[in-house]
Amino acid sequence: MPSALITGITGQDGSYLAELLLSKGYLVHGLVRRTSSLERSRLQHLYTNPDIYGRTLQLHYCDLEDATTLRRIVTRIGPDELYHLAGQSHVGLSFEITESTVDSVAVGTLRLLEIIRDLPRPPRVFHAASSEIFGRPSTVPQDEETAMAPVNPYGASKAFATQMCRIYREKYGLHITNGILYNHESPRRGENFVTRKICRAAASIKLGLQRELSLGDTSARRDWGDARDYVRGMWQAVQHTVPEDFVFATGVLHSVQDVVEAAFSEAGLDLQKYVRRDERLLRGPEPFALVGNPAKAERILHWKRETDFAGLIRWMLHAELQDLERRKS
């Protein structure tokens, strides 16, 4: 039975990755932060299953800031594969909590790399990089050779972590893959991310639970994909014999306005009646034309996307409707 350790297992990507690995017969270990709440909604269906939790799925309390505990857990488990997904990932919040973002994303990754290089049998590693490392890209679309030029604290932290993964791969011969992930969404996305916020609001307005939706700049464009497709790409990258960097993206840009129109149309609502612009929600410098070229992943890993933009928003909107209706009943 192959074993894997997932940092950030309680997040969107971590939960889908845990499901994928369990379906493939892995023993899955996950790191979770110690908090006053035991709420792990994304893992609830696994956590409450006695045939899974404590058997093929095991959770361990650890913060990336705690090097001693991190080393102890990684050394004791000795995983075959390690998927590093943890860290503060909200771009807007990274301007408000800059130091903690840098500590968890940049320094946290370095701590993990230092532990891995000392292991007698280092695991294959997947590091979840981000399109935010490109910031103001010199080329459109971006690929694995595009220069990093981050414009926010989160992107700068990811750029540091990505480059350190490359250095440790070359210097110490570690099997480390950087997956440069463009925006990927699902019903498990945090409610402070714009796609989830929009779909949640459309569903709430549809059911009479909310009166309007306030947004900042809806002209901002992103390369949005389905989180399940990207998680599958993570696993495929780790199975590849040679550790390399791969861009995971759709290659198509859509605006926030496109998300609004798709969600409200699917809900049967006239967005002009319910969507308001709020200047207070405008944030700092926007990246420019962040759209990825996934040709390398498609060619080498045979990675394929199964969901288009319309299908993604449709899925998210109906998941919100189902959840809200269930809560009402």
Point out the residues that are catalytic: 130, 132, 154
Q: Which residues of 15-35 are buried (b: 16+ CB within 10 A; e: fewer)?
A: bbbbbbbbeeebbbbbbbeee
CA distances to 5, 105, 178, 289 from 294, rounded to whole Å, are: 26, 24, 13, 15
Cα separation, 101 vs 98, whole angstroms: 5
Q: Give the contacts of 58 (CB within 8 A, at least 6 positions apart).
A: 27, 28, 29, 30
Whole-angstrom distance, CA of residue 69 vs CA of residue 60: 10
| Residue 47, number of CB atoms within 10 A of its CB | 16
| Contact in structure between 174 and 125 (CB atoms under 8 Å) | yes
Compute the distance between CA of residue 35 and CA of residue 49 in angstroms, rounded to an integer.
Answer: 22
List 7's β-bridge partners, or say none. 31, 84
- Measure the CA angle with vertex 233, ends 228 and 237; round to 5°: 155
With beta carbons less than 8 A apart as the criterion, state whether 213 and 206 touch.
no
